[in-house]
């Protein structure tokens, strides 16, 4: 929620839209939800808003529930390992 609340209203709106899409669709386009290569069970929710790219790490619980983890603004092609590690804290 801290990350979400710091974003502009446009980014918040696009985040809510994307989460709704993931909630409602049976098959989610990879453009919005993708498995992280090389990390079993970790997925990223992909949001593109205001010319910026945002990612929210997530995983499944009992095959149904998407549990949201760390969120960040992506500034490079490769996801930094420290950002990935942060999603496994706590």
Could you tell me the pTM of the whole model?
0.76
In terms of Cα–Cα distance, which of 7, 83, 5 is closest to 49?
Answer: 7
Express each pLDDT in 7-48 by its tens digit: 999 999 999 999 999 999 999 999 999 998 888 888 999 999
Contact (CB, 8 A) for 44 and 56: yes
Express each pLDDT in 44-57 by its tens digit: 999 999 889 999 99
């Amino acid at each position: 929620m801290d990350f979400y609340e710091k974003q502009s209203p446009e980014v918040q709106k696009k985040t809510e839209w994307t989460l709704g899409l993931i909630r409602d669709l049976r098959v989610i386009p990879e453009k919005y939800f993708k498995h992280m290569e090389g990390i079993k069970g970790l997925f990223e929710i992909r949001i593109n808003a205001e010319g910026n790219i945002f990612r929210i790490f997530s995983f499944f619980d009992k095959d149904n529930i998407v549990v949201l983890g760390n969120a960040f603004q992506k500034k490079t092609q490769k996801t930094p390992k420290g950002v990935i590690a942060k999603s496994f804290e706590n």
